[in-house]
Chains A and B, each alone.
Chain A
């Protein structure tokens, strides 16, 4: 009941009169990497936004550690939830160090603790501490997304939400970051929700895959092996087109 997993109970989301998600039931276990797979417009990003209260369900409930998101303080919840997005969204006027320190600073950590944490995070994502004082504009796309990952993990979040984080990177950098991201999952224990439309990426990173079909319905939940062999027609069509 009180374990910090995430559960969706009969969640429906209607945005501007359009149903985006319908009848979503999904449990994400603590420490698990759940990949939400589907075409764009299938409601994957919407599902993520429900977890850190950027959106609320029209019907049904989203529970974080057993508590509905409606009963949680959204600001506190977001600070305990890491977020990595495709556009990265680093603050262009903040140095790398200050970008990484964002959530620890919001949480009021003291300056030495923040400094130590920034160095740890730079190491963790494979960037030297020499980049501390650079501005995002002086980094490559891959370096920027590493900073984005470091920023998301800096405050030791209970959950990590990833919205197509590698979608805008070149293929070589993407492969590299996917591998490192998977290694990171063994070293940094958090519950992960990872959104992608890339079947290979899903198979590579997931403990379990949740496949959303085009009408915003959950068509499959299971391990990558089960996904590979699933005969469900919507799954099979998407999988075979993406491999």
Chain B
């Protein structure tokens, strides 16, 4: 059977797995932003936390993803099998680029602009919202884009613990020695990564106009 015919015949499942994949990564990156951006802001305010927190998220990054998913299986609440531990693992991996880039983005804001803002009577919150975050937006969004692209890759492995997604096709293809099935998972994942990077780039452009 021709590869295109194969894709057409399995269209429904490929679309469903793609949707699962998008949902897995989307939820994880959103959660990672909700945790990581405030954490990055906190680091820019508190030099004492910087070493331990950045060290911590760095260490998470070095754990092989298969091992992290394995470690999570016996853990109550956040662990086990299925979608929940997969999201926990994906959030953990997304934290490093988001926390680090938020911190770097805020720190990169023009010191003279910051000094002027303080001297003109801006509160720390106003300075953050009106100056530091808008000026750091490019760097912060680069972190979110990186986290998303990494997440799309790592999420394929989450099928190992039954979280679904495009990895399910890849794993099945490997065990059945069917390279068409592997490609049916791998190609949409690659396209997804490209599309997500583009889409977030577009979002960044919109955000920087709106600020």
CA distance A88 to B135 in the complex (A): 17
> Would you call A85 and B115 a contact (CB within 8 A)?
yes
Interface of A is mostly: mixed
Q: Cβ of B117: which chain A residues have Cβ within 8 Å of it?
A: 89, 91, 102
Q: How far is the CB of A240 from chain B (nearest CB, A)?
A: 33
**Contact flags (1/0) for B110-137 with A, using CB distance below 8 Å?**
1111111111111100100011001100
Find A102's partner among B112, B114, B120 (CB 8 Å cutoff): B120
Within 8 A of A (CB), among B153-210: 208
| Nearest residue, chain B, Cβ from A89 | B116
Specify the chain B residue showing the minimal Cβ separation from A91: B113
* Separation of A54 and B114 alpha carbons in the complex (Å): 13
Q: Is B11 an interface residue (CB 8 A)?
A: no
Task: Chain B residues near A81: list those with CB within 8 A.
Answer: 121
**Is the beta-carbon distance between A83 and B113 smaller than 8 angstroms?**
no
- Does B23 sit within 8 A of A, measured CB to CB? no
In the complex, which residues of chain A have a beta carbon less than 8 angstroms from the beta carbon of B110? 89, 92
Tell me which of B113, B118, B121 contacts A92 (CB under 8 A).
B113
Q: Find chain B residues with CB under 8 A from A75 CB.
A: 121, 123
A87 touches B112 (CB 8 A): yes
Residue among B114, B115, B135 facing the most chain A CB atoms (10 A cut-off): B115
Contact of B120 among A87, A92, A103 (CB under 8 A): A103
Q: Which of B110, B111, B121 has the most CB of A within 10 A?
A: B121
What is the distance, in angstroms, from A194's C-beta to the closest C-beta of chain B? 15
Asked if B119 and A78 sit within 8 Å, CB to CB, the answer is: yes
A33 interface contact, C-beta 8 A:
no
**Contact between A89 and B121, CB atoms less than 8 A apart:** no
B119, B121, B123, B131: the one contacting A91 at CB < 8 Å is B131
Query: If the complex has contacts A79-B121, A103-B120, are A87 and B131 also in contact, measured as CB distance less than 8 A?
Result: no
Interface residue total, chain B, C-beta cutoff 8 A: 21
Q: Mark A56-74, 1 if CB is under 8 A from B, else 0.
A: 0000000000000000000
B120→A79 contact, CB < 8 A: yes
A151 / chain B contacts, CB cutoff of 8 Å: 120
CA distance A172 to B180 in the complex (A): 73
Q: Bound complex: CA of A85 vs CA of B113, how far in Å?
A: 10
Asked if A52 CB lies within 8 Å of chain B CBs, one says yes
Instruction: Judge if A237 is at the interface, Cβ distance under 8 Å.
Output: no
Q: Do B131 and A52 touch across chains, with their CB atoms under 8 A apart?
A: no
Query: Cβ of B135: which chain A residues have Cβ within 8 Å of it?
Result: 91-93
List the A residue with the shortest CB-CB distance to B123: A75
B45 within 8 A of A: no
Shortest distance between the CB of A197 and any CB in chain B (Å)? 19
- Least CB distance from B61 to A in Å reads 32
27 A-B contacts, Cβ less than 8 Å apart?
A54-B119, A75-B123, A77-B121, A78-B118, A78-B120, A78-B121, A79-B120, A81-B121, A83-B119, A83-B120, A85-B116, A87-B111, A89-B113, A89-B115, A89-B117, A90-B113, A91-B113, A91-B117, A91-B130, A91-B131, A92-B110, A92-B135, A93-B134, A102-B117, A103-B120, A106-B126, A161-B119
Known: A91-B113, A91-B116. 14 other contacts (CB 8 A): A52-B119, A54-B118, A76-B121, A78-B120, A79-B121, A85-B119, A88-B112, A89-B116, A90-B116, A91-B135, A93-B134, A93-B208, A93-B211, A103-B121
